[in-house]
């Protein structure tokens, strides 16, 4: 209906109000990651929200690295973050910036605060500053240096810049209110002496701005209108507003906070992931068991699935936690019509059809995806010797097992009915060869006499099969114990988070490249591993299984 009202989240309503009242005549947002690690699923919400808002209002979106802390920052992280954001579909066009681009302007901004009597150089150590700061229930005490003259502060700040003081010997503090109920407003440090080689500016500076000072200055310089931040910055908003007001920017940006995206039973903390990487428990920040953006991409997730997941989680002021099952639901929904359904034998066992003509090969024409005819057809060779999944045969099956066992007849997908007549075992007692006979009249999987078979199994023609490895994943965390060990704070890791198995796949997958993905019939969706797979030895990561426990709410609500 044309008059049907569109539900707006609280950020959209605030922006609508700002535009209607003429506070701003455009919308300009930014995503400001610190390059001290790889992005994870939680960051995807911030990226897609900031980019989506800009696009929705016909505005602009900036990409800016807040690189004000060189001790933890690397060019490696810069490049990975750029790649992740582009992959998610957020386009900063020609607006790629670094906080370090503005170090000169930030210095001048700090000088301006000193000149206005709104900043001063302090000699207090970090320990003394904590002592003077007060508590949540007690006001702070004035710094002994709070009333230094403007001239003395200007000279000391220039000496800080020129390297005349040791690291930590002097800091520049904003002069606000030591009795404020908001501890962030009790004369916060805005500059410190720190001799650190910066990934972008080298050794040009030995003083660096604090994030709470740099953030509003950067936003104002770039013309940001709406600075969308996660909730932990809510208590910092008065300082943000104080900085832009004190520096008299003509079009001050506005900070709005929203709830972060949390997932149950996953590891997102950078120090924990760093430890997992260093100890070799995972093979890098892009390990497919991690929920880093690069890990999800390597596993085979799609930007569209993550976008849909963020939409379903909604935008609110209240913190909440989503379940991994919802993310996997979005993934299955995105993949099921996009990917060819191919056959692969995991833990393969050979099948010999004894009455099939020696040397004969048939080319069967099959649909790539029965739910999406647009994906076309392919040909699959069929012959006397095949591989099937090891799980599709049992010597002594339980009740209601309808797959292959001695005397039972099953349908080979797209091919013929076959009946198991015998089997062989190797020296270890493991079934190595299954002997069957086939019904030549049942081609295409239908019997002319109308008899029914309950089991249908997939297969791969042995002479044409491509050997590969499949990697099956479980949660990196032991879900029954939770993420963290309560006694020592360590991670409760699942020892079965990775299982590697031998597999044979269809000949059509021989030239599969990194990130190519498929549905392996009855086994799930799989993606060619981007790090370890080669043409000579294909490696497939299981993206997600086919079954889901997640149910979308009845109204399909995204809010």
| pLDDT confidence of residue 484 | 85
Segment 171-179 mean pLDDT: 98
Higher pLDDT, 550 or 160: 160
| pLDDT confidence of residue 72 | 84
Higher pLDDT, 548 or 320: 320
Question: Is residue 378 scored above 80 in pLDDT?
Answer: yes
With a pLDDT cut of 90, the percent of the chain lying above it is 87
Q: How confident is the model at residue 447 (pLDDT cuts 50, 70, 90)?
A: confident
| pLDDT confidence of residue 3 | 43
Work out whether strand 456-457 and strand 409-412 pair parallel, antiparallel, or are unpaired.
parallel
Question: Is residue 142 scored above 60 in pLDDT?
Answer: yes
Q: What is the DSSP letter of 41?
A: H
Long-range contacts at 248-252 (CB < 8 A, ≥ 24 apart): 249/220, 251/24, 251/220, 251/223, 251/225, 252/220
Chain centroid offset of residue 383 CA: 43
Question: Is residue 4 scored above 60 in pLDDT?
Answer: no
Q: How confident is the model at residue 498 (pLDDT cuts 50, 70, 90)?
A: very high
Which tokens in the block code for residue 132?
């003077």
Using CA atoms of 390, 392, 394, 400 in order, give the dihedral in degrees to the nearest 10.
150
Mean pLDDT of the chain: 93
pTM over 0.85: yes
Q: How far is CA 124 from CA 173, 196, 245, in A?
A: 11, 21, 27
Contact call for residues 160 and 170 (beta carbons, < 8 A): yes
Question: Is residue 492 scored above 60 in pLDDT?
Answer: yes
Count, residues in the chain: 559
Give the closest residue to 537 by CA, choosing from 527, 545, 529. 529
Q: How confident is the model at residue 558 (pLDDT cuts 50, 70, 90)?
A: very low
The answer for residues whose C-beta is within 8 angstroms of residue 178's C-beta and 6 or more apart is 132, 134, 139, 140, 141, 142, 143, 186, 187
Contact call for residues 52 and 15 (beta carbons, < 8 A): no
């Amino acid at each position: 209906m044309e008059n049907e009202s569109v539900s707006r989240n609280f950020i959209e309503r605030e922006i609508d109000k700002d535009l209607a009242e003429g506070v701003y005549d455009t919308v300009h947002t930014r995503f400001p990651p610190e390059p001290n690690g790889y992005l994870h699923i939680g960051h995807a919400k911030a990226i897609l929200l900031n980019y989506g808002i800009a696009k929705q209002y016909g505005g602009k979106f900036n990409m800016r690295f807040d690189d004000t802390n060189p001790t933890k920052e690397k060019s490696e992280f810069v490049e990975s973050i750029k790649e992740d954001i582009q992959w998610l579909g957020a386009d900063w066009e020609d607006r790629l910036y670094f906080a370090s681009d503005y170090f000169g302007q930030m210095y001048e901004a700090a000088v301006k605060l000193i000149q206005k009597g709104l900043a001063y150089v302090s000699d207090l150590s970090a320990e003394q500053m904590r002592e003077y700061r007060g508590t949540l229930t007690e006001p702070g005490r004035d710094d002994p240096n709070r009333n230094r003259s403007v001239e003395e502060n200007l000279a000391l700040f220039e000496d800080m810049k020129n390297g005349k003081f040791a690291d930590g010997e002097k800091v520049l503090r904003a002069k606000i209110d030591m009795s404020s109920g908001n501890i962030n407003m009790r004369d916060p440090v805005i500059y410190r002496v720190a001799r650190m080689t910066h990934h972008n500016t080298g050794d040009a500076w030995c003083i660096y701005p604090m994030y709470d000072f740099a953030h509003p200055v950067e936003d104002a310089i770039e013309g940001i209108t709406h600075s969308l931040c996660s909730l932990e910055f809510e208590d910092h908003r008065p300082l943000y507003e104080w900085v832009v007001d004190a520096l008299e920017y003509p079009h001050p940006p506005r900070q709005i906070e929203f709830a972060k995206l949390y997932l149950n039973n996953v590891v997102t903390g950078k120090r924990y992931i760093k430890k997992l990487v260093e100890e070799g428990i995972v093979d890098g920040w892009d390990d497919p068991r991690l929920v880093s953006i690069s890990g999800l991409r390597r596993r085979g997730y799609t930007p569209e699935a993550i976008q849909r997941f963020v939409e379903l989680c909604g935008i609110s002021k209240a913190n909440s936690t989503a379940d991994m099952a919802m993310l996997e639901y979005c993934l299955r929904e995105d993949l099921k019509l996009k990917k060819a359904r191919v056959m692969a034998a995991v833990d393969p066992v050979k099948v010999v059809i004894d009455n099939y003509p020696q040397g004969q090969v048939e080319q069967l024409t099959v649909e790539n995806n029965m739910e999406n005819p647009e994906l076309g057809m392919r040909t699959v060779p069929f012959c006397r010797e095949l591989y099937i999944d090891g799980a599709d045969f049992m010597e002594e099956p339980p009740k209601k097992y309808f797959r292959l066992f001695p005397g039972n007849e099953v349908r080979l997908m797209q091919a013929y009915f076959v009946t198991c007549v015998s089997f062989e075992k190797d020296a270890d007692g493991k079934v190595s060869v299954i002997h069957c006979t086939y019904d030549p009249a049942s081609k295409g999987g239908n019997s002319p006499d109308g008899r029914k078979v309950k089991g249908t199994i997939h297969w791969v023609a042995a002479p044409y099969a491509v050997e590969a490895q499949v990697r099956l994943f479980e949660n990196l965390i032991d879900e029954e114990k939770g993420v963290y060990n309560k006694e020592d704070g360590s991670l409760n890791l699942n020892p079965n988070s990775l299982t590697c198995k031998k597999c044979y796949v269809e000949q059509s997958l021989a030239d599969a490249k990194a990130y190519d993905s498929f549905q392996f019939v009855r086994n799930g969706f799989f993606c060619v591993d981007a790090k370890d797979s080669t043409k000579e030895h294909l490696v497939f990561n299981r993206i997600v299984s086919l079954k889901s426990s997640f149910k979308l709410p009845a109204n399909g609500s995204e809010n």
